[in-house]
Amino acid sequence: MEEKQKGIAVSFIRLLCVGLAVLICCALSYGWPSVSVARDIINQQESDEQLEINKNALLEGQDESIRVGAAFLIISDSSPNARQILLDILKSDKNKPARILVCKALSRYRTEKKEIPAKQDFIEPLFSIITSSEDAVEAKQASEALLIFKYEEIAGQIEKLAKDSSTPVKTRLNAIYALQLQPDMRATVQLMRLVDDPDKQISAEAEKALRAIGVPYGQDSATRTDIIKELEGKGKDKFLQDWLIRQEFNRKTLEDSVKLWRGRFFTALDKLYAQITDDVERGKFLSGFLPDSEPQVRLWTLDKVYKWWVGTGPKSGILTDIKPALSILISDSDRDVRLKTAQLLSLMGEGDWIAPLTEQYKKEQDAEIKTALFDALGWAVYYGSLPNAAVKVSPELKRQVLKWAEEYIADNDIKKSQKGVDVIRKLLEQEGLSPAEAEHYLSVLEDRYNQKPIDEVLSSQLLDAMAKLCAGSVYKDKAAVVFRPLFEQAIKNQADGIRQAAVEGLINIDKSSALKMLRTDFINDKNPVIRQDVIELADNIGIKDDLSWLEEKIGSNSESKPAWQAMLKIFKRGDSAVIYEWIDRLEAKSADGKLTNEQMILFLETAEAKITAEKNPSKSGIRNIQTRLAKFYRANGDYEKAAKYIGLLLTGDTTASQKESRLAELLEVYLRWPNLSLAAQLLSNRLLQEDLDENNPLVISIDNYLTGLPAGADPNTVLGPLRKIQAPGKPKWNTQLQKWSQQFPAASDPNQPK
């Protein structure tokens, strides 16, 4: 392609030189009025050059639509050279694909209702194809191209070929197909007469043609004679009207039939595909259908590959077997297949299709497909720029794609501009550009953002791209310098998306300065994402100044939990003074129901660890924390830990009344745990020291527990172990035990006699 472009450039320069020389000679010899002669020579030279380009595209092009377009342009050229090119192609069987494409271009001329210059030139070569070609497809295309002529212009030749028994059968069959296509009563009458031809093959083909156009042909010659008379009696206009109605009916019937069978075919394919569970076999199955001749089958296969790729299952079989076919489908002749392939590749990103993507992008004419190819190319170049990329992209291609992205970003079409933003952002993440180049593309983003008026969605995306470049780009320092003023201005914008992107940009540049700026006006921003960002920022680097506004969010909404987590992190980063300052404040919040027991326990555990780790920890401070932990463990039903902390507190109690009260607290925890063996052990040890009357804190604790049992609970579960305590010489305890036994009598043992 590059060699061809160079050749065109050289030819143009040569043409320009010739033109100038002629112009000068004319001016010197005849005066300046002869400039028009030079202009004609130059125009002719340019025409010849363009004709040569069209000829090469027709003969050597890869894309069928482009080749047909080239043939179309040559047909519209009335010059003898152009006509000779077409006639040479039609008369030669050395390039059958080109011959077929010329026929298609002639048919296209007819469908677009354009008049072909000197079209009589094509009668003889088209008939030559019908009479000599061994390729049925080629013969049919030539027959369809004959529709550019009125029937009377070609009737004699078609009818002679069809009915002459000395003509080869294959040629006669081709002529019958040509008659079938003609919307003329005379062609239909000729088909009717051929039904009675002695050659059974000809007769059968004539019947088939009549069935195709929906004309009855009767069971015998006499009937057919009557049908012919009836047709001729209707006249040409009525026949044509009926013919059009029949063709429309046939077309609709055929479409319905094709739709039905296509549906059945794809249903069967779906069932076959669903039965394949092996990853590798699935890839092989799909790869066999990607090159299918039917675009609908290729689209079905691409859809399956798409769903496979975006699914959660393994994908190892996709690229191995399917990648080669995808590289080819990028330049598929079907428009929808090219679009679907480009969209798929933009998702798959990594792969060895950078070269075919680039080539197709340069020649693609469809705007939607071109944009999808650009998107896919952006991802491919991004992956190819990564340090560990399997397929490395050249610096030249990266620069080329960035230039295309600059064109896209400047486009008035917002969707195209968004694609340009996305590609520039991705390609600036990795190194490979000079400082000047990097600054240029950062400025491209800045200039597009400053362009007024600008769409809100595009503004948000631009700021989002800038924010990402300030976080994860090798050029993030340069990006911060360029974009920081834009972020500081944009946080005042009323649009949520713009403000959100600006906040994220400031955070990415400098978290500390961003938090100072945001904690004043953005902790209650109407955009929940911004509020979440500020809380997360406090979670990461927050200080004691952030505790107050975080506290306000606790227990009020969905931000309560992350706000509390951020407070815990600040407490861990702070000193014990902050904890002492907040301990009563948080317990009051717990009493109001805005902090759960679990949350208070987390705070108190953090406080204990923080204070204990100090060089000279405050014993009173630690005891204060342990007292509260015991309280909240009990309230939360974690009696084992509550017992542990009550035991620690007990070792620090100094007076007998303190110890007795603490033992009563510990006994209650044992009972509610329940750990009755520890409860009995505690009472047994205490009874060794002295008798326990009804006013003793331990007895009161047991009594409160028994009288407060929920309905249906058996108090003897507790009393049973207590009765087994050996307490001789302890009348007060035994009296209290007897009192409980009378209050809560034990069920009789069915195995003991009454």
pLDDT one-digit tens code per residue, 613-651: 888 888 899 999 999 999 999 999 999 999 999 999 999
pLDDT band at 258 (very low <50, low <70, confident <90, very high): confident
pLDDT for 736 = 94
Q: Are residues 162 and 307 in the same domain?
A: no
Question: What average pLDDT score do residues 333-360 get?
Answer: 90
Least confident of 33-42, 509-518, 666-675: 33-42
Model confidence at 47, pLDDT cuts 50, 70, 90, reads: low
Residue 747 banded pLDDT, cuts 50, 70, 90: low
Check residue 152 and give its pLDDT: 92
- For the chain, the distance separating the N- and C-terminal CA atoms, rounded to the nearest angstrom, is 113
Judge if 500 and 363 occupy the same domain: no
Same domain, 345 and 407: no
Among 32-41, 398-407, 538-547, 573-582, the minimum mean pLDDT is found in 32-41
The pLDDT of residue 297 is above 90: yes
Q: Distance of alpha carbon 653 from its chain centroid, rounded? A: 67
C-alpha dihedral sign at 61, 66, 68, 73: negative
Tokens of 742: 């009378």
96-105, 239-248, 468-477, range with the lowest pLDDT: 239-248
Query: Are 398 and 488 within one domain?
Result: yes
Asked whether residue 46 falls in the same domain as residue 146, the answer is yes
**Is 549 contained in some domain?**
no
Query: What average pLDDT does the segment 278-290 reach?
Result: 87
Please state, in angstroms and rounded to a whole number, the distance separating the CA atoms of residues 650 and 686: 14
My answer on whether 336 and 473 are in the same domain is no
Tell me the residue range of the domain where 499 lies. 394-509
Among 202, 227, 247, identify where a domain stops.
Answer: 247
Kindly state whether residue 600 falls inside one of the protein's structural domains.
no
Once rounded to an integer, what is the mean pLDDT over residues 566-582? 93
Mind listing the pLDDT tens digit for each residue in 49-85? 888 888 888 888 877 878 888 888 998 888 999 999 9
Look at residue 441 and tell me if it is in a domain: yes
The one-letter amino acid at 219: Q
Let me know if residue 252 belongs to a domain.
no
User: How much of the chain exceeds pLDDT 70, in percent?
Assistant: 91
Q: Is the peptide bond before 453 cis (omega within 30 degrees of 0)?
A: yes
Do the Cβ atoms of 579 and 547 come closer than 8 Å? no
Same domain for 89 and 6? yes
Indicate the pLDDT class of residue 709, thresholds 50, 70 and 90: confident
Does residue 510 or residue 244 have the better pLDDT? Answer: 510
Same-domain check for residues 105 and 200: yes
Over residues 324-343, mean pLDDT: 92
Which of 712, 644, 624, 637 is CA-nearest to residue 672? 637
CATH number at residue 338: 1.25.10.10
Q: Are residues 143 and 242 in the same domain?
A: yes
| More confidently predicted of 361 and 472 | 361
**Residue of higher predicted confidence among 325 and 460:** 460
The answer, yes or no, to whether residue 249 has pLDDT greater than 90, is: no
Domain boundary among 485, 509, 533: 509
CA-to-CA dists, residue 352 to 355, 390, 397, angstroms? 8, 9, 14
Residue 651 belongs to some domain of the structure: no
Mean pLDDT of the 689-700 span: 94
- Helical residues (DSSP H) of 275-294, grouped into ranges: 279-287
Please tell me the distance from the alpha carbon of residue 109 to that of residue 125, in angstroms, as a whole number: 17
Once rounded to an integer, what is the mean pLDDT over residues 120-128? Answer: 93
Domain-located, residue 104: yes
How confident is the model at residue 177, as a pLDDT?
Answer: 94
pLDDT of residue 372: 96
| Secondary structure element (H or E) that encloses residue 256, with its range | helix 221-274
Please count the other Cβ atoms lying within 10 Å of the Cβ belonging to residue 241. 12
Q: What is the pTM of this model?
A: 0.65
Domain closes at, from 348, 383, 418:
383
Query: Using 50, 70 and 90 to split pLDDT, how confident is the model at 212?
Result: confident
Residue 601 and residue 13: Cα distance in Å, rounded? 86
pLDDT for the residue 324:
82
Same domain, 376 and 434: no
Instruction: Give residue 216's pLDDT.
Output: 83
Q: Are residues 374 and 416 in the same domain?
A: no
> For 128-172, what is each residue's pLDDT tens digit?
999 998 888 999 999 999 999 999 999 999 999 999 999 999 999
- pLDDT above 90 covers what percent of the chain? 60
Mind giving me the DSSP string for 708-736?
TPPTT--THHHHHHHHTS--TT-HHHHHH
User: Residue 752's pLDDT is what?
Assistant: 42
- Per-residue pLDDT band for 313 (boundaries 50, 70, 90) equals confident
381, burial (CB in 10 Å: exposed 0-12, middle 13-18, buried 19+): buried
Contact 191, 179 (CB under 8 A): yes
Report pLDDT digits (tens) over 369-427.
999 999 999 999 999 999 888 888 999 999 999 999 999 999 999 999 999 999 999 99
Is residue 518 domain-resident?
no
CATH for 191: 1.25.40
**Is residue 466's pLDDT more than 70?**
yes
Mean pLDDT of the chain: 87
Whether residue 28 has pLDDT greater than 50: no
Please provide the size of the chain in residues.
754
Q: Examine the domain organization and report whether 160 and 53 are in the same domain.
A: yes
Rounded Cα distance between 570 and 543, Å, is: 6
Is residue 36 in some structural domain? yes
Tally of domains within the chain: 4
